[in-house]
Amino acid sequence: MSAVLASPGTMTPAAAPRAGHPAAAAPIVEAWGLQKHYPAGRSLRQALQGERPVLRAVDGVDLTLRSGESVGLVGESGSGKTTIGRLLLKLTEPTGGQLAFEGQDLRQLNRAAMLRFRQRAQLVFQNPFDALNPRFTIGRSLAEPLLNTGVARAEHEARVAESLRTVRLGDPARLLQRLPHQLSGGQLQRVVLARALVLQPRFLVADEPVSMLDVSVRAGVLNLLRELRERLNLTTLAISHDLTLVRYVCERTLVMYLGKVVEDGPTARVITAPAHPYTTALIRAVPRPQVAQPRDALPLHGALGDAAGLQGGCRLRNRCPHAFARCATEEPPLVEIAPGHRAACHLHTT
Ligand SMILES: Nc1ncnc2c1ncn2[C@@H]1O[C@H](COP(=O)(O)OP(=O)(O)OP(=O)(O)O)[C@@H](O)[C@H]1O
Ligand code: SF4
Ligand SMILES: [Mg+2]
């Protein structure tokens, strides 16, 4: 699990939605019943009986991300966060459900539309070496996406220099001929961000964007992310184990458990008044170093995998301290409990 920056009590929150950013801004990304199931390992009995068990990495997610929104996606390891990010960027195909980007059905893209989508929706890699070839200079790595998407060569130099300036890496001329190993971790992560921005996207997915960085340089990269999404009006999905990171960067937070979104609301509200027992548990597990208070173990029974085989009912029921009879038979729907705040728990529907 990634290290944590500070306790929720000490970090400056991402603040309320920005002025001039109406909650009714146009949707950029929409998903309906989004699903990604993988074949799971079979026991001998299942093999003999011809059963084909599946692992439900993402299991029926409805989602709307609006223009300029900064949304965080949190949950334990294995809850399906990265899979959602990859589905939204069309880096993996769904096994069910529908997806649209800027109103266009992502199942029906011809080659030109696919190229345009690749320009407008980008991934910020967690590990710089997944994005940068160690043998390529920074200049070549940054020009590569322009080349791949058919941007005229005459524009490359200016676009690369602009993206390096955008991420505040100083004079671009000093970096263009360097190799990745000649840069610090913080500089590398900014180059990764510059590479995602060089195509001037509208939507960024940042999967654990600072988890590989030294604590001392994390705040700088997070400040930059926050500044960029405001300055460029980007729609961002920041994936993290770390609620404090999400609180710092995102106006809205989604909480995921075993392939489902179980809570969705304004970050400040989700953190100060969580509506789902799973969110409460995640918040209680955040360490509070400055008061020398140890991190609580996740205050749930058992582990994530304990619920993997559950059929019907609430997926948290074996771990939830509040579970009651109905939780075993009915899956709770995601319902609005306050304006813009939704939770999937029977405690709100009884
Ligand atoms: N290609 C794959 N084949 C089979 N199972 C997969 C594949 N990719 C992911 N999974 C499984 O899907 C589930 C969700 O994985 P995912 O990587 O989305 O979780 P995550 O929330 O991003 O976890 P982490 O916080 O550890 O990155 C996990 O049980 C994982 O083992
Ligand atoms: S529906 Fe029941 S088991 Fe699930 S989170 Fe709510 S109280 Fe707990
Ligand atoms: Mg992940």
Domain ranges of the chain: 115-201
Minimum CA distance residue for ligand 2 atom 6: 345
Which residues hold their Cβ within 5 A of ligand 3, which is an ion? 82
Instruction: Please give the structure tokens belonging to residue 20.
Output: 């001039």
pLDDT for res 219: 83
The rounded Å distance from CA 329 to ligand 2 centre is 11
pLDDT above 60: residue 21? no
Global pTM reads 0.89
Residues 244, 130: Cα–Cα separation, whole Å = 25
115-201 in CATH: which number? 3.40.50.300
Confidence grade of residue 332 (pLDDT, cut at 50, 70, 90): very high
Residue 176, SS3 per DSSP: coil
Q: Which of 295, 293, 245, 294 is nearest to 271 (CA)?
A: 245
CA 321 vs CA 103, 253, 277: distances in Å: 41, 23, 8
pLDDT for res 44: 82
Q: Is 310 in the pocket of ligand 2 (CB under 6 A)?
A: no
pLDDT in tens, 193-238: 999 999 999 999 999 888 888 877 888 888 888 888 888 989 999 9
